[in-house]
């Protein structure tokens, strides 16, 4: 086979493969495989349809609880120069209570008195700001003393707030294990749907909808996720929804104030109905339709 013919064959194969990759799939909410890949595995990169907005202002940043808690934590370390940790490597009780006492984030178990706040392990949000700040290399620990890195000190300046938000959000959603604090068994696949969840909220979240609306769409796209929840006494769809609610909704998107959550208890049962509506998500993110690769026709994502 001569080189010219081989080139023509390769070009034709690529053309056919591109057509497949850019064809809308109903189960993907009419996104193409290439769109879905970019949303899930190339978050906020140039080709990703989901991007940060260019005009995120300080008013919006001031209304993001987890970001504000991280900022206060870093400022505290900066003012103290260094923090001597407990023998277990934890923050001292005085600072744990000070950080939680700012009330950026309220945790149900603490607020209702089931969990008494005495140490770092008692607060999920305090543990997480410490972990995330280390992941993005804003803090360092030497000889059991915690201090800011040069990067951490630099990012305390007001002009870097938007960059801090991006670093914190990506580390929290894509590097940190969102299942670190819960007892669900899956191997992180629920967390891998985060980009698609953001896409769905941006598309459909202006209207209040029950959480099942979103969990069903995700399971339609990725039905294999049900296999991670084999409890024979409870439908796998319900287990997935509960895991998604805990990891993605309650302890992530809600803590960034991207969505508004309303809960209704079901009389006589332990179950509840959870309703979701957009809050800050469209002040921070947007869908760039020009980045969508699907071939426009009768479908519209």
Q: How far apart (Å, rounded) are the C-alpha atoms in residues 232 and 210? A: 25
What pLDDT was estimated at residue 188?
78
What pLDDT was estimated at residue 269?
67
Contact of 202 with 170, CB cutoff 8 Å: no
Q: How far apart (Å, rounded) are the C-alpha atoms in residues 257 and 242? A: 20
What pLDDT was estimated at residue 89?
96
The residues spanned by each domain of the chain are 26-50+184-291, 64-174
pTM, two decimals, is 0.90
Q: Which segments of the chain have a pLDDT < 50? A: 297-301
What pLDDT was estimated at residue 298?
45
Contact of 245 with 262, CB cutoff 8 Å: no
């Amino acid at each position: 086979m001569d080189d010219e013919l081989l080139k023509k064959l390769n070009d034709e194969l690529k053309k056919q493969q591109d057509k497949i990759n850019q064809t809308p799939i109903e189960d993907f909410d009419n996104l193409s495989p290439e769109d879905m890949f970019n949303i899930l595995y190339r978050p906020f990169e140039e080709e990703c349809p989901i991007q940060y907005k260019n005009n995120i202002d300080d008013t919006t940043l001031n209304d993001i609880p987890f970001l504000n808690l991280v900022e206060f934590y870093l400022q505290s370390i900066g003012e103290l120069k260094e923090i001597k940790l407990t023998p277990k490597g934890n923050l001292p009780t005085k600072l744990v209570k000070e950080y939680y006492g700012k009330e950026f984030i309220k945790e149900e178990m603490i607020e209702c008195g089931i969990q008494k706040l005495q140490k770092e392990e008692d607060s999920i949000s305090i543990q997480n700001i410490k972990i995330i700040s280390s992941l993005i290399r804003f803090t360092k620990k030497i000889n059991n003393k915690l201090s800011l890195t040069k990067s951490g000190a630099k990012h305390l300046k007001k002009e870097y707030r938007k960059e801090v938000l991006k670093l914190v959000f990506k580390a929290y959603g894509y590097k940190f294990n969102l299942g670190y604090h819960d007892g669900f068994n899956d191997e992180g696949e629920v967390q891998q749907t985060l980009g698609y969840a953001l896409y769905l909220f941006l598309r459909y979240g202006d209207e209040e909808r029950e959480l099942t609306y979103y969990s069903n769409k995700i399971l339609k796209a990725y039905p294999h996720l049900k296999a991670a929840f084999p409890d024979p006494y409870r439908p796998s769809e319900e287990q997935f929804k509960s895991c998604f609610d805990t990891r993605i909704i309650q302890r992530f998107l809600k803590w960034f104030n991207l969505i508004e959550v309303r809960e209704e208890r079901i009389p006589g049962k332990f179950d509840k109905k959870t309703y979701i509506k957009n809050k800050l998500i469209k002040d921070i993110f947007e869908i760039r339709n020009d980045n969508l690769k699907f071939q426009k026709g009768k479908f519209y994502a």
